[in-house]
Structure 1
């Protein structure tokens, strides 16, 4: 009897041991979308324990660089392409040709297979319709509108040192206008900014709550807040929306590369791609369609028509210099 019980116990334990696998992913996806994507990944790969650390782009970049000598993660997931090219981060990666990566246009992946991007986001203004009406303001249509003195103290924006959204907003303005004119414009804009907020989503939330008239943020946060019934509209800047790709990559020091590669393969499966289309206006894998709630919030079917042609390599190369200059001018 004892042997029979022992055999039963061992039989129950063996599958667990055989299925053992654990990876850690670092991500800059927003908390709600990261949680939704991770839940799908765990359903698809129940034999892998996937641990996730979610931080804003700037904070996550600082952590990856600080841990460079002893990385604590296996996968980078949904992380700004303009930051992943930083040599201090790129040096921690290993080339991997993920299954299905050839469905992504070459512009959205590294030529040496160090990273690939399946999603992205774009700059958008969150405008509280009740507050602009109360204050007698117009709904701004462009970045140029926001330097009008009538918006003084009514605009909040992400801090580019900590927020990928904030950085791509600043970087795209400098790319649009050139350095000299761009910094001059940002000087004018700074005169109207009530505060710079650490997160890319919080300016939108603050505007939605009626604390300010305009929150410079990104598309998905605006769409979600509109869907939740806040009195606001989403505005895509008339100059073109600065945008960012969200990259995935294999960490060279991973102790469990087989499962890390499986996770990266999963990010390109039809199941994952369908989920991206529920959350993202920029999906680099073709085949999905824009959800109705995106269109009703004002997003055009052809999102390419409103995107500024961002130079991600330049944005990455110039990042430290731009942030240092921005801090010198506006953090006091």
Structure 2
């Protein structure tokens, strides 16, 4: 081996030091959000421009809203995450628990839908959809059934053993569907007595399984176990893209608005970068990428896309316009008691 000259050694050492310095400057931000399609979409298509601009790596901590909230609460005094995505109802709870810090003014806030401003921007909606109904097109075709049209179809005796319902304590989908049914029975977001009273003689006998995670829908739809279930247009589109025979239906009484919201976690270790990430995720650029690559409908009204994504955006905006929002302040006052009652009287 030919020995390196003194100048070559010095140059190599300097290069090594320079590389180390660059690597040392790269910071990591941790963001809690759903795994699966959401994690894939944001990791592969959305985070990149922000990471390059700020010399930072954004790492997803995957989990459902309840899991992410529990992690944030457990580490409240020394947060391990910097930003978190939660379903809107769970986000209202997080704000009330003091887990979020107010998002700083940024140009992207002005473009948001009014409903996307949560508690004076303590949190903001990143993507908006609805919970309605989805049905297994193969099962329905085999049985000669017409597509469902109403929330009350969940109680139709012909679907006995073919309805899959998401557990109320762990699923926003399940809670939305229960509240919609409760409203049709004369209840309100503050009074769910009509829904609980009617359940054992209506929807209850039709349910083949109560599931804690909607990810199981994919498996049950493929096997034919799941014929009818509360679901979103976005998730239905994702299943269809995988060849699973599922179609979304907007109930004639209206679907229920479902937002995924973000907040900057209070007292996190990188407050400025976390604020920058939250601002970026509200931008037309970021939300267009999420729509085009993951079918996540934007909350920023300035997002402009073309082709299939534009058609999807128009369709979703019409669906959202004809849907109702939940009074989360009222619901969260009572949800713990509802969960207990559900576990004792429904899933016992």
Aligned residue number for residue 220 of structure 1: 234
Aligned residue number for residue 338 of structure 2: 322
Q: Which runs of 5+ in 2 are unaligned?
A: 1-5
Q: Which runs of 5+ in 1 are unaligned?
A: none
1:38-77 map, 5 Å: 38-39=43-44, 40-46=46-52, 47-77=55-85
Larger-Rg structure: 2
Contact 1:207/1:214 (<8 A) preserved: no
Distance 1:236 1:208, change over 3 A: farther
Q: What is the alpha-carbon distance in structure 2 between the residues aligned to residue 120 and residue 285 of structure 1?
A: 10
Distance 1:122 1:161, change over 3 A: same
Residue 299 of structure 1: CA displacement?
A: 4.6
Aligned residue number for residue 20 of structure 1: 26
Q: Deviations over 1:231-270 (max 9, x none)?
A: 3322122221122221111111211112211211210222
Matched, 1:182 2:195: yes
Q: What is the alpha-carbon distance in structure 1 between the residues aligned to residue 320 and residue 60 of structure 2?
A: 31
Q: Which of 33, 41, 47 is residue 38 of structure 2 equivalent to?
A: 33
Distance 1:86 1:160, change over 3 A: same
User: The residue matched to 2:231 in structure 1 has which SS?
Assistant: strand
Residue 70 of structure 1: CA displacement?
A: 3.5
- What is the total number of aligned residue pairs between the two structures? 328
Residue 8 of structure 1: CA displacement?
A: 2.4
**TM-score of the two chains, using structure 2 as the length reference:** 0.84
Aligned residue number for residue 3 of structure 2: none
User: The residue matched to 1:283 in structure 2 has which SS?
Assistant: coil
Q: What is the alpha-carbon distance in structure 1 between the residues aligned to residue 296 and residue 17 of structure 2?
A: 49
**TM-score of the two chains, using structure 1 as the length reference:** 0.87
Residue 72 of structure 1: CA displacement?
A: 1.7
Q: Which of 252, 255, 266 is residue 280 of structure 2 equivalent to?
A: 266
CA RMSD of aligned residues (A): 2.7
Q: Deviations over 1:184-203 (max 9, x none)?
A: 34332111100011212433
Q: What is the alpha-carbon distance in structure 1 between the residues aligned to residue 306 and residue 327 of structure 2?
A: 25
1:242-321 map, 5 Å: 242-278=256-292, 279-280=294-295, 282-287=297-302, 288=304, 292=308, 299=315, 302-321=318-337
User: The residue matched to 1:137 in structure 2 has which SS?
Assistant: coil
Q: Which of 164, 171, 175 is residue 172 of structure 2 equivalent to?
A: 164
User: The residue matched to 1:162 in structure 2 has which SS?
Assistant: coil
User: The residue matched to 1:272 in structure 2 has which SS?
Assistant: helix
